[in-house]
Amino acid sequence: MTDQSKNGDVRGNGGELQQQASTPEARLTTNHGAPLSDNQNSLRGGPRGPTLLEDFILREKIQHFDHERIPERIVHARGSAAHGVFELTESLAAYTTAKVLTEVGEKTEVFTRFSTVAGGAGSIDTPRDVRGFAVKFYTKEGNWDLVGNNIPIFFIQDAIKFPDLIHAVKMEADRGYPQAASAHDTFWDFIGLMPESTHMVMWAMSDRAIPRSLRMIEGFGVNTFRLVNAEGQSHFVKFHWRPRLGTQSTCWDEAVKIAGADPDFHRRDLFDAIDKGDFPEWDFAVQILTQADADALPFDILDATKLIPEETHPLKVIGRMTLNRNPDNFFAETEQAAFLPTNIVPGIDFSEDPLLQGRLFSYQDTQLSRLGTVNFHQIPINRAKGCPFQNFQRDGHMQTQVFTGRANYEPNSLAESGEAGGPRADAKGGFTSFRAPVEGEKARLRSETFADHYSQARLFFRSLETPEQAHLASALVFELSKVSLEHVRVRVMGNLRNVDEDLAKRVADGVGMALPKKNPAAAEPIDLAPSPALRLVGKYPASLKGRMVGVLVTDGADGAVVKAVQDAAEAAGAAVEIIAPKRGGAKLKDGSTLKADHQLAGAPSVLFDAVALVLSAEGCKQLLTEGAAIDFAKDAFGHLKAIGHTPEAQPLLDKAGVEADTGVVDLSNGADPFIKPAATRQWDREPKVRILA
């Protein structure tokens, strides 16, 4: 029933091509190695008869497929990752014995996974959410996992509240929605009842929670850790990642539209950048405090809802991480990566932060249901690479190591008779816990020093620039307006009044509700000195580096203008993509064809950091009846982006409501004047395009 062609390929009855291997190395086999002759047809009783149970090839293939999925992470299910290196530039030998933090110039392999928290594995990349920032360092002394976020603090003080927090933020239990969104009753119900979450909510409602790119987020270890030196002395430490590209956020309206235009926006951005050799980098920095420094803080260093302002305790940059290689296989690496705060190396230790203490149990435990075996550390992405790992743990599901000999217990004296005795503990170089004094009665307690829930929330809000404050207030209006239970809104507003009266008034006004009574505070908030380091606007220099400029081109357009924009943008470090009404490209004024990277309908301006409209008069006229073109200009303007344009594009700009300002640049005088505004958002424009709280 088949035809054999000259090259060995075979055509089936339906004419379909069955590709054939010409060597044993190239041939398809079953999981157990038996070669296949046909990968198109199952084994049937006659050409139109039933499929036979005997078909072990069909059964194996379907069965493997049926079991392809593993449980997604209960939080941080949606993530993207990359391989890279960490290079230490300054030694912390005075504080720690950890080789990864003391051997200057040493390059340690890393695997870094970024994630959203609330949404499922298939959810969008741009919801309002915290971003996970988890780094696995494959050090010479074992894997060190720094499992942090892009926000330096957390919602809760004690791990016992974590399941409640996550249940509240995830889709509601009966209806199964909303997906990847905090704007709903149960989340705000929990927040209102948990004043300790107020500081984190400020951050989650700020522009930090709607980043433009994973390459442009800061990272924080969040919890307080310890560094322990050769003398056994301990210092407290906070870990920070600082993106070399600076930070950048989206506008909320933009984030919503990106979700539709490209749900994989962040994943694609990270993959593409690394793929083309534009490797994202972060500086690694620490804040180090003695016990006396910690005692002098106006809050408890063990309280994960508090940050340590870098104005009072400056950051010391000690190294750099470069992400330079995409995973070869998403499932094998990104999905199976298991990050564990308990993955720690000698010289680094935990603090008594009650949130961290609970994490120390949770991550190891969750891998058992996610990866299904205590042997998940043998999966290549999780294996210690910088050093051997050896102990007497044995057997279990999916054991891949083949141990030899009899030594599976310790102590043993097998070596005395010439047999291998196996590894032994190293009293000097092995992991030693800091001998922290422990005292007090056993009880379920929250320390009085954890009682101030509002001072730092106030500090954060008051440290922001004016546009950022307005975005935060507007985000609260948006989220609370999605809350259907009035008493929940009232309670949240009652907490907000403890943060900042002006903020509370603006939000109440935006929601259209009376300002309720202030809720009693466990500790009266105090005014702290503002911390400019908490801002996004103006914190890093404006830059086009690593950004994307979209150039919309029509037939008849001037190729010289396109080239000028391209050259200027690329010289400033940006990538440029061409958008045209047709994917085949645009026929330019000089008769040549400019290839397009995108068709207009599939490339709205939300996907770019700045745009240029290089239109001919005729091309512009045609676009006046194309909604996608009008939206392209309107959204670029509304999202505060620079718009370069040929004079011929003016009718489209007018129709899109684009008004003249310093970010709207006529390209007749060359592309250079477009580059400066393209490197930033036009914050001054915002009051013209939206009403903010």
Q: Enumerate the active-site residues.
A: 76, 149
Q: Does 134 bind ligand HDD (CB under 6 A)?
A: yes
- Side-by-side strand order, sheet with 598-599: 598-599, 575-580, 548-553, 610-614, 643-645, 664-666
Q: Which is nearer to ligand HDD, 76 or 506 (CB)?
A: 76
The answer to whether the annotation marks 491 as part of a ligand binding site is no
Shortest reach from residue 282's CB to ligand HDD, in Å: 15
Q: Which residue is nearest to ligand HDD (CB)?
A: 132
- Side-by-side strand order, sheet with 17-18: 3-4, 10-11, 17-18
Select the residue interacting with ligand HDD from 55, 256, 330, 363 (CB under 6 A): 363
Select the residue interacting with ligand HDD from 12, 120, 358, 573 (CB under 6 A): 358
Shortest reach from residue 652's CB to ligand HDD, in Å: 43
Judged by CB under 6 A, the number of residues near ligand HDD is 27
- Three-class DSSP labels, 559-614: HHHHHHHHHHHHHCCCEEEEEECCCCCEECCCCCEECCCEEHHHCCHHHCCEEEEE
Shortest reach from residue 81's CB to ligand HDD, in Å: 7
Shortest reach from residue 369's CB to ligand HDD, in Å: 10
Stretch that binds ligand HDD, among 197-205, 272-280, 360-368, 672-680 (CB under 6 A): 360-368
Stretch that binds ligand HDD, among 67-75, 93-101, 121-129, 630-638 (CB under 6 A): 67-75
Mask for 21-60, x = binds ligand HDD (CB under 6 A): ----------------------------------------
The answer to whether the annotation marks 208 as part of a ligand binding site is no
Helices 486-499/455-463 angle, 10° precision = 80
Mask for 285-304, x = binds ligand HDD (CB under 6 A): -------------------x
Please give the C-alpha separations between residue 648 and each of 132, 138, 379, 604, in angstroms, as whole numbers.
45, 56, 59, 20
Show contacts of 439-445: CB within 8 Å, 24+ apart: none
The answer to whether the annotation marks 162 as part of a ligand binding site is yes
The answer to whether the annotation marks 128 as part of a ligand binding site is no
Q: Which residue has the tokens 């149990």?
A: 361
Q: What angle do CA 331, 334, 338 make, to 5 degrees?
A: 110
Written as six digits, the tokens of 264 are: 């994989």
Stretch that binds ligand HDD, among 25-33, 354-362, 575-583, 595-603 (CB under 6 A): 354-362
Stretch that binds ligand HDD, among 70-78, 269-277, 441-449, 623-631 (CB under 6 A): 70-78
**Residue of 490, 495, 470 lying closest to 480 (CA atoms):** 490
Mask for 212-251, x = binds ligand HDD (CB under 6 A): ----------xx----------------------------
Residue type present at position 66: D
| d(C-alpha 243, C-alpha 603), whole Å | 27
Shortest reach from residue 517's CB to ligand HDD, in Å: 32
Q: Which residue has the tokens 């006396």?
A: 292
Q: Which is nearer to ligand HDD, 144 or 339 (CB)?
A: 339
Helices 501-511/486-499 angle, 10° precision = 150
Stretch that binds ligand HDD, among 144-152, 189-197, 305-313, 538-546 (CB under 6 A): 144-152
Shortest reach from residue 617's CB to ligand HDD, in Å: 52
Q: Which residue has the tokens 């500086």?
A: 283
Mask for 307-346, x = binds ligand HDD (CB under 6 A): ------------------------------xxx-------
Residue type present at position 553: V
- Give the H/E segment covering residue 360: helix 354-371
Q: Which is nearer to ligand HDD, 377 or 634 (CB)?
A: 377
Select the residue interacting with ligand HDD from 57, 85, 101, 147 (CB under 6 A): 147
What does 505-532 look like in DSSP terms, one character per residue? HHHHHHHT----PPPP-SS--------G
| d(C-alpha 387, C-alpha 138), whole Å | 8
Q: Which is nearer to ligand HDD, 147 or 613 (CB)?
A: 147
Q: Which is nearer to ligand HDD, 124 or 611 (CB)?
A: 124
- Which residues neighbour 463 within 8 Å (Cβ) at sequence distance 6 or greater? 530, 531, 532, 533, 534, 535
| d(C-alpha 421, C-alpha 407), whole Å | 6
Chain positions 79 to 108 lying near ligand HDD, rule: CB under 6 A, are 79
Q: Which residue has the tokens 């290089």?
A: 614
Select the residue interacting with ligand HDD from 20, 41, 179, 366 (CB under 6 A): 366
Select the residue interacting with ligand HDD from 95, 137, 162, 299 (CB under 6 A): 162
Select the residue interacting with ligand HDD from 216, 237, 270, 355 (CB under 6 A): 355
- Strand 219-220 with 225-228, pairing: unpaired
Shortest reach from residue 388's CB to ligand HDD, in Å: 25
| d(C-alpha 693, C-alpha 685), whole Å | 16
The answer to whether the annotation marks 359 as part of a ligand binding site is yes
| d(C-alpha 492, C-alpha 254), whole Å | 27
The answer to whether the annotation marks 370 as part of a ligand binding site is yes
> Rule CB under 6 A: which residues touch ligand HDD?
73-76, 79, 113, 115, 132, 134, 147-149, 154, 159, 162, 222-223, 304, 337-339, 355, 358-359, 362-363, 366
What residues form the annotated binding site for heme? 73, 113, 162, 359, 363, 370
